[in-house]
Amino acid sequence: MRCFWVEKSESGEVTSSLTDKPVSILDSSDTSEPRIRIQVQYSSLNYKDAMAATGHPGIVRHFPHIPGIDAVGRVIQSQDAAFPVGAEVIVTGNQLGVTHFGAWAEQIDVPVSWAVPLPESLTPLQSMALGTAGFTAAQCVAALIDHGVTPESGSVVVTGATGGVASLAISLLVKLGYSVVAVTGKQSEHEALKQRGVDHVLSRSEFIDDSRRPLLSAAYAGAVDTVGGTMLETLLRSTQYRGCVAACGLTGGAELNTTVYPFLLRGVTLCGIDSAMCPMPIRKKIWQRLSSDWKLDDLDSLTEIVPMDELSSMVSKILAGGMVGRAVIQI
Ligand code: NDP
């Protein structure tokens, strides 16, 4: 079984390589629930995968490890009639590629409760162009809608705008008729973002306000934040009365220094978004939307297909903040 293998030496050095391992490494003694084995067709590259590939202690607790939090493929062994051999399934999040061997491998073996049937109107490639990033973007947009942010409420800011989650959030928001303001650190991508339907593009440095003023001009109805840190602090202080900030990421930092004024004086909601442990009823609903009324027309143009032997260089690229759009991994 070809896989991306991450090891840690006794001296603590983490190394990775593309290698062959016997499929028996996937055998599980866990009999607590039925399992399925999947022949993986595509995986994807998420920021979390890159953290796992470099042995980040917040993600990887046991070595050796195989990253890959997203998978689509066919069932080749099944202990559950609901997912017979030959069925096409998606697995995203849960513990895949975290405590569990992940999908940067030709096969995965997972509890059946992690699997979602591949929606008929999505191809396997499209499902991984979305992957955890699309799922997270959709959850962020759903959170804004649930908190009353409509296209009439005002503009929605998307931060880390060229990354995977943010690119898909922009596509969804534009499709749903929102006016979108994109914040990016990549000067070279301003024009491309406008061509994708973004109304205004701001550079990261001009957007972030590091004054300690508790409130800034109430400019935005909502936000999808993939960056965290001072970006999220600025967003909270810039959100208008009863607006909502959906916070899902930490590429700019895990710290959050804020006052309570945005919450007390403007009724701002800070809505946390988690995709890994999202309950199955919500998970199915989000995939159903992404394959019907929220199906994106521009997925192909946002997606690069990457062979497994380019994984190492892609890991370096995403950790350096260099991603534009989504990378689907051809397994
Ligand atoms: P990407 O690397 O594809 O996108 C991240 C983007 O953030 C980059 O393209 C860049 O955009 C911006 N960025 C990178 N470094 C910095 C920095 N130092 N300061 C400010 N901005 C920076 O990652 P993903 O889209 O896969 O993930 C985005 C974030 O969302 C990650 O933190 C990830 O862990 C998190 N996430 C959380 C999930 C959840 O369940 N809560 C699920 C999925 C992702 P630009 O150059 O345009 O500014």
pLDDT tens column, 13-64: 999 999 999 999 999 888 889 999 999 999 999 999 999 999 999 999 899 9
Q: Is the CB of 204 under 6 A from ligand 1?
A: yes
Residues 67-80 have pLDDT tens digits of: 999 999 999 999 99
Does 276 have pLDDT greater than 90?
Answer: yes
Would residue 10 count as lying in a domain? yes
Q: What amino acid is encoded at 106 in this protein?
A: E
* Residues 86, 199 share a domain: no
d(CA 113, CA 33): 8
State the residue for tokens 């900030």. 245
| Burial classification of residue 211, based on how many CB atoms lie within 10 Å of its CB (0-12 exposed, 13-18 middle, 19 or more buried) | exposed
Q: Give residue 300's pLDDT.
A: 93
Does 110 lie in the same domain as 144?
Answer: no
CA of 150 relative to ligand 1 center, distance in Å: 25
Residues 236 and 261 sit within 8 Å (Cβ to Cβ): no
pLDDT in tens, 173-188: 999 999 999 999 999 9
Same domain, 178 and 267: yes
Residue 183 near residue 229 (C-beta atoms within 8 A): no
Reported ipTM: the value is 0.99
**Does 31 reside within a domain?**
yes
What is this structure's pTM? 0.97
> Quick check: is 258 in a domain?
yes
**pLDDT digit string, tens, across residues 99-151:** 999 999 999 999 999 999 999 999 999 999 999 999 999 999 999 999 999 99
Q: Can you give the residue range of the structural domain that contains 228? A: 132-272
In a domain, 125, yes or no: no
Query: What's the CA-to-centroid distance between 10 and ligand 1, angstroms?
Result: 31
What pLDDT is recorded for position 305?
A: 98
Question: Which CATH number covers residue 257?
Answer: 3.40.50.720
In a domain, 288, yes or no: no
Is there an atom of ligand 1 within 6 Å of 93 CB? Answer: no
